[in-house]
Structure 1
Amino acid sequence: MKLEGEFTFKGPREEVWDLLQDPDVLITALPGAKKMEKTGDDKYEAEMEVKVGPVSGTFSSNIELSDKVEPESYKMVVNGKGKSGFVKGKATICLEEKTQDETLMKYTADLQVGGKLASVGQRLLDTVGKSMARQSLEAMNTALEYQIDPRAKTEYIPPSQAKFAAGVAKDVAGDSMKNPKFWTFIILASAGIAATIWYFTK
Structure 2
Amino acid sequence: MAMTMNGSVTLPVDRQTVWAGLNDPEILKRSIPGCQEMTRTEDDGFAASAKVKIGPVSATFKGNVKLTDIDPPNGYTISGEGQGGIAGFAKGGAKVSLADAEGGGTVLNYDVEANVGGKIAQLGGRLINGVAKKYADEFFANFAKALTGEGASAA
Instruction: Please confirm whether the aligned pair reaches a TM-score higher than 0.5, indicating the same fold.
Output: yes
Note the C-alpha offset of 1:143. Answer: 1.6
Note the C-alpha offset of 1:119. Answer: 1.1
Distance 1:18 1:100 in 2: 21
Q: Secondary structure at the match of 1:11?
A: coil
* Structure 1 outlier segments of 4+, above 6 Å: none
Q: Is the 8 A contact 1:12 1:100 kept in 2?
A: no
Note the C-alpha offset of 1:22. Answer: 0.8
1:95 alignment counterpart: 98
2:23 alignment counterpart: 21
- Amino acid aligned to 2:129: D
Give the length in aligned residue pairs.
147
1:70 aligns with 2:56: no
1:61 alignment counterpart: 63
- Amino acid aligned to 2:144: N
1:141 alignment counterpart: 144
Q: Secondary structure at the match of 1:15?
A: helix
1:9 aligns with 2:24: no
2:153 alignment counterpart: none
Q: What is the aligned-residue identity percentage?
A: 36
Distance 2:23 2:133 in 1: 20
Match 1:104 to one of 104, 107, 112? 107
The CA RMSD measured in Å over matched residues stands at 1.2
Distance 2:43 2:103 in 1: 29
Structure with more helix by fraction: 1
Flag the structure with larger Rg. 1
Structure 1 gap segments, 5+ residues each: 147-152, 154-202
1:49 alignment counterpart: 51
- Amino acid aligned to 2:135: M
Q: Larger relative contact order (C-alpha < 8 A, sep ≥ 6)? A: 2
